[in-house]
């Protein structure tokens, strides 16, 4: 099994995919992983419009064909008619992981009251974890890292703290992080001791 984490980054936006404006989700995620991960990783990126069939097909391709262990989407999780990312994600899921959506909304509520309008979900498809993230770069980082006080003490955990252990449990590579950005949490029995 490969020890390189393969990350699929899928930005969903009618206007960005049509070239009306520049996509900011994928560059923000790429920069965040560059700071956060200390173990090897590579990525596959896709930029597509808000079309449920296309989102489903792209998620299946990233999981089943490209072999991504982790697939992160940005965009399309609100209540507007064109927002269909959660529906597409649930349609390709084998298991639903409701704690991820609950925690993402909890984090975002500390910043904006409209966080309750988000319908983000987390699911497992085969040996891949799929997470719907917000579309704004600042909100992406907050969701992944969580909330820290002025002294850098964690007040609300970000969702990424649980991702490495989840990837362990579904048969993916062992992910290590830079603790200053986000500390991966595992039970003591699941922590690998460095040689």
pLDDT in tens, the chain (195 residues): 568 999 999 999 999 999 999 999 999 999 999 999 999 999 999 999 999 999 999 999 999 999 999 999 999 999 999 999 999 999 999 999 999 999 999 999 988 999 999 999 999 999 999 999 998 899 999 999 998 888 878 888 899 999 999 999 999 999 999 998 999 999 999 999 876
> Across-strand partners of 70?
7, 129
Q: What is the dihedral of CA 125, 47, 157, 118, to 10 degrees?
A: -90
Helix (H/G/I), strand (E/B), else coil: 150 = coil
The domains located in the chain, with CATH, are 5-190 (3.40.980.10)
Question: What are the b/e assignments for 64-82, b being 16+ CB within 10 Å?
Answer: eebebbbbbbbbbbbeeee
Question: Considering just the CA atoms, what is the radius of gyration of the chain in Å?
Answer: 16
* Residue whose token pair is 């990525």: 43
Q: What is the pTM of this model?
A: 0.95
């Amino acid at each position: 099994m490969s020890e390189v984490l393969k990350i699929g980054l899928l930005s969903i936006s009618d206007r960005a995919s049509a070239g009306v404006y520049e996509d900011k989700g994928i560059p923000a995620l790429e920069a965040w992983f560059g700071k956060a991960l200390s173990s090897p990783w590579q990525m596959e990126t896709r930029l597509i419009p808000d079309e449920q069939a296309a989102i489903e097909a792209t998620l299946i391709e990233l999981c089943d064909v490209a072999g991504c262990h982790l697939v992160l989407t940005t965009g399309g999780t609100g209540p507007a008619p064109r927002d269909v990312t959660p529906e597409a994600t649930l349609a390709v899921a084998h298991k639903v992981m409701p704690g991820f959506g609950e925690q993402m909304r909890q984090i975002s509520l500390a910043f904006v009251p409209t966080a309750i309008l988000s319908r983000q979900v987390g699911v497992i498809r085969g040996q891949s974890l799929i997470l719907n993230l917000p579309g704004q770069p600042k909100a992406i980082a907050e969701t992944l890292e969580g909330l820290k006080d002025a002294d850098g003490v964690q007040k609300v955990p970000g969702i990424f703290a649980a991702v490495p252990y989840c990837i362990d449990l579904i048969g993916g590579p062992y992910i290590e992080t830079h603790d200053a950005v986000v500390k991966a949490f595992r039970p003591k029995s699941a922590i690998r001791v460095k040689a």
